[in-house]
Chain A
């Protein structure tokens, strides 16, 4: 049965998400955090998911690993093919799913200090991952752990293994998280805002480290971030999310040089730039409440174009605008401004 499924996806595709819908059921109503999104990640590819807070970018990644808290959350619909296998057929706490988490897909969270357990040493936590996934004894696991810490550039690694997270700085903790993510030779790393909580110079160090490791180990990487600069620098392809939907996708070059969706255009105009004195043109208003998303385009209330067509029709589907997979969900045909 698995073989038949495997044929469905392209052999270069590592992860393919189709029509994923994740909602949270709260007292005020159903929050459609991820509303029918599809995307894919190829092998050895660096894909970025960009959006503002509350647009569903993190939830979309948590859904892949089934780390959504049920209740209130629920993955309502969709298929997540990883290496041709639909992960949503496994139960949340099934043996198979636990094998995939940490072994095939690892995740790096935003806050390194809080995502490590404060009452265990760093070494204990790393060797725990190694013992679970690699069938080695305690001593070997510790040695592999030391090597992995050296690999992420932690000096004096064998001593640092005995440290507790609070004894390490934020940048060091994030290095430990990266070490935990790569130690099992994962195929896909999901980095959820990996550098947001860090200082500027540390940010650059951590991003360079992560990218060089990803290239070296031939891993795929999904970066979830709101920082458009980081995306421009490192990603191969970008998905822009707004109010639970993907509104634009394409290669980094296409998206950054020829943005087509009014939201992407607006975002790029509202980012302060360090290399030029440009007057900022902010997007008016605020993102919509995800409980009552209108049937029309969800960006409509903030959009400067706002034509009759937009008001009459329902949310536009993603359509391809050029030969290189540049796709946009907008009724209008907007070129470079």
Chain B
């Protein structure tokens, strides 16, 4: 089943996505509370590009990724893949798309089967994609996939516990690529890795994107890593996108006070710059998703919050070409 596609359609389009998790306050309680993990966010992801979601833990970035992967069913909102709505369609009609959107997880050890060797892990993904493959073809395909991510094909016999962290993450990437996807949802793929290995994996992501024309939905808390890989970035706070911009606009001219603070606290290794740098230390902690403050969710921590911030939720407004920000005081 092929869906007709016009030239202008983005590969992935998320519109007003909402995901609320209902829960009870106590065992006997009849009152249902909604935890607004993702609250009305929209973004687009184009072929061969990277859209990053940045934010602190609990801001809803992973939930968004999971909605795109159809692990969660959104409360409301639409997700278009290649022009076709995929969040509310039936499981059967989504099936052909499932292999085109693949995940890579944060913990490479936890996301691999400890009883499967590297070879059989990838073989499983290859045969899912193509059931009538001959065994010789499978072997070639697996070896090709291992080479693609920089693993020696002889590593095929190894089990996850025999591999290093970097090698495991490479295996995870290779498994995702086995289904020849067009979008990869990368959920904190490098945060569990050491500095020198992290750089290897970031460069691998870039190479693969160029080679295979992949689109990444990149989820991370690390603004420095995100800068390396993204085209467009959305900064999330308590389930909402507070600022969205291309890379240049966000890093050179951050507008939202939260983005400014985030950028200012990332320590740099440039000695002279770091000693001069002015830092914005935010007071307090991220509020709970159960009682999101009224008005702008960021107002209790914001240095220049005014009366209107406490009462009215700011809308995401375009500031200059494509650079959108949700703040009253811009």
Query: Min CB distance, A27 to chain B, in Å?
Result: 15
Q: Does A314 contact B (CB under 8 A)?
A: no
| Supplied contacts A52-B196, A282-B203, 13 more A-B pairs, CB within 8 Å | A199-B56, A199-B221, A202-B56, A227-B267, A229-B269, A232-B268, A232-B271, A233-B267, A269-B199, A272-B199, A273-B224, A274-B263, A277-B247
Q: How far is the CB of B237 from chain A (nearest CB, A)?
A: 10
B91 at the interface (CB under 8 A from A): no
> Which chain A residues lie closer than 8 Å to B247 at the CB level?
277
List A contacts of B286 (CB < 8 A): 199, 201
CB-CB contacts below 8 Å: A196-222 with B: 199-205, 208
* One of B25-33, B35-43, B63-71, B273-281 at the interface: B273-281
Total interface residues in chain B, CB < 8 Å: 41
Would you give 27 A-B contacts (Cβ < 8 Å), ordered by A?
A52-B194, A200-B262, A200-B265, A200-B266, A201-B281, A202-B56, A202-B285, A204-B281, A208-B279, A208-B281, A226-B194, A228-B195, A229-B268, A229-B269, A257-B272, A267-B195, A270-B196, A270-B198, A271-B224, A271-B269, A272-B225, A273-B224, A273-B270, A277-B228, A280-B202, A282-B198, A282-B199
For A300, list chain B residues within 8 Å (CB): none
Does B125 belong to the interface (CB within 8 Å)? no
The answer, yes or no, to whether B155 is at the interface (CB within 8 Å) is no
Question: When the two chains form their complex, are residues A281 and B274 in contact, meaning their CB atoms are under 8 A apart?
Answer: no
Q: Does B208 contact A (CB under 8 A)?
A: no
Q: Which of A171, A229, A276, A280 contacts B266 (CB 8 A)?
A: A229
Determine the interface band of chain A, counting residues with CB < 8 A from chain B.
Answer: 35 or more
> Counting CB contacts under 8 A, is A310 at the interface?
no
Docked complex Cα distance between A203 and B222 (Å): 12
Q: How far is the CB of B262 from chain A (nearest CB, A)?
A: 6
Residues of B within 8 A of A208 (CB): 279, 281
Q: Evaluate contact between B274 and A232: CB separation under 8 angstroms.
A: yes
Residues of A within 8 A of B225 (CB): 272
User: B282 at the A/B interface (Cβ < 8 Å)?
Assistant: yes
As a 0/1 sequence over residues 202 to 245 of chain B, the CB contacts with chain A under 8 angstroms (1 = contact) are: 11000000000000000001111101100000000000000000
B residues less than 8 Å from A277 (CB atoms): 227-228, 247
Kindly identify, within residues 249 to 265 of chain A, every residue whose CB is under 8 Å from any CB belonging to chain B. 252-253, 256-257
In the complex, which residues of chain B have a beta carbon less than 8 angstroms from the beta carbon of A272?
A: 198-199, 202, 222, 224-225, 227-228
Given A204-B265, A229-B266, A282-B196, also A274-B227 (CB < 8 A): yes
Task: Return the contact of A280 from the options B166, B167, B228, B272 (Cβ within 8 A).
Answer: B228
Query: Of residues 86 to 115 in A, which have CB atoms within 8 Å of B's CB atoms?
Result: none
From known contacts A199-B221, A200-B265, A272-B222, infer whether A205 and B196 are also in contact, taking CB-CB under 8 Å: no
Residue contact B199 to A271, C-beta cutoff 8 Å:
yes
Minimum distance in angstroms from A268 CB to a CB of chain B: 6
Q: Does A291 contact B (CB under 8 A)?
A: no
Task: Classify the secondary structure of B's interface with A.
Answer: helix
A-to-B contact residues, CB < 8 Å: 52-53, 169, 171-172, 199-205, 208, 226-230, 232-233, 252-253, 256-257, 266-277, 280-284, 286-287
In the complex, whether B291 has a CB less than 8 A from a CB of chain A is: no
| B261 within 8 A of partner (CB) | yes
In Å, the complex CA distance between A281 and B3 comes to 41
| B200 CB-CB contact with A under 8 Å | yes
Q: From residue 174 to 214 of chain B, which have CB atoms closer than 8 A to chain A?
A: 194-200, 202-203
> Does B265 lie within 8 Å of A286, measured CB to CB?
no
Instruction: Tell me, in angstroms, the Cα distance from A244 to B165 when the chains sit together.
Output: 19
- Nearest first, the 10 A-B pairs at minimum CB distance are A229-B267, A270-B199, A282-B199, A204-B265, A256-B271, A283-B196, A272-B224, A52-B194, A282-B200, A199-B56
With A53-B194, A169-B285 as contacts: A283 and B270 at CB distance below 8 Å: no
Residues of B within 8 Å of A205, CB to CB, are: 281-282
B164 CB contacts on chain A under 8 angstroms:
286
Give Cα A266–Cα B199 distance, bound, in whole angstroms: 10
- Report which of B199, B265, B281 forms a contact with A283, defined as CB distance below 8 A: B199
Closest CB in chain A relative to B238 CB, distance in Å: 13
A276 to B273, CA, bound (A): 11
Question: A205-B281, A232-B269, A286-B164 known; A274 and B224 CB under 8 Å?
Answer: yes
- Residue in A201, A256, A266, A269 whose beta carbon sits within 8 Å of that of B262 in the complex: A201
Q: Which residues of A contact B20 (CB under 8 A)?
A: none
Contact partners of B272 in chain A: CB under 8 A = 257
Cα-based distance from A11 to B261 in the complex (angstroms): 42
Q: Specify which of A202, A205, A275 lies most central, judged by the most chain B CB atoms within 10 Å of its CB.
A: A275
Note all chain B residues with C-beta closer than 8 A to A257: 271-272
B202 contacts across to A, CB distance below 8 A: 272, 280, 282
A274 to B277, CA, bound (A): 12
The answer to whether residues A201 and B282 also contact, given A53-B194, A229-B274, A267-B195 and a CB cut-off of 8 A, is yes
Closest chain-B Cβ to A324's Cβ sits at a distance in Å of 14
What residues of A have a CB within 8 angstroms of the CB of B306 in the complex? Answer: none
Q: Tell me the complex Cα distance, A282–B224, Å.
A: 15
Report the separation of the CA atoms of residues A169 and B286 in the bound assembly, to the nearest whole angstrom.
10
Q: For residue B273, which residues in chain A have a CB less than 8 angstroms away from its CB?
A: 275
Contact B271 A274 (CB under 8 A): no
B166 surroundings in chain A (CB, below 8 A): 286
Instruction: Decide if B196 touches A274 in the complex (CB within 8 Å).
Output: no
Closest chain A CB from B281 CB (angstroms) = 5
Q: Which residues of B contact A276 (CB under 8 A)?
A: 270
For A269, what are the chain B residues with a Cβ–Cβ distance below 8 Å? 199
